[in-house]
Amino acid sequence: MNEITHLEQWDDLYPRIRDILSEARRQDMRAVNIAMVTAYWGVGRIIVEEEQRGALRAEYGKRQLEEIAMRLSKEFGKGFDYTNLWRMRIFYIAYPIIDAVRRKLS
């Protein structure tokens, strides 16, 4: 009988421990998401700044981004193709102030 009472106490602890670990995982994923969004915003900023200095024009700019996309994909894997780099550019244009992005994520 004493052993059953002891097990019931542990059963009571499990949900509390599980909740702590689940919340930590949620916070960890959120931190990773914020870091990646900030990184994508930064990539978009660099692309736009280069465009504004005239470095990325028409076909030259497209070839340059394609080359960068190929190199990034080799080093970092999927997610850095030309289309995604272009989307990062659009993201930066839509949200040129990083604090606005952070507020939306909060």
Q: Which domain holds residue 61?
A: 2-105
Cβ neighbour number for residue 89 with a 10 Å cutoff: 21
What integer pLDDT is reported at residue 58 of this predicted model? 57
What is the Cβ-side half-sphere exposure of residue 28, based on CA atoms within 13 angstroms? 6
What integer pLDDT is reported at residue 3 of this predicted model? 60
Give the pLDDT confidence of 16-33 residue by residue, as tens digits: 888 888 888 888 888 888
User: Helix crossing, 98-105 with 2-52: angle to 10°?
Assistant: 160
Q: Domains in the chain: how many in total?
A: 1
pLDDT < 50 stretches in the chain:
none
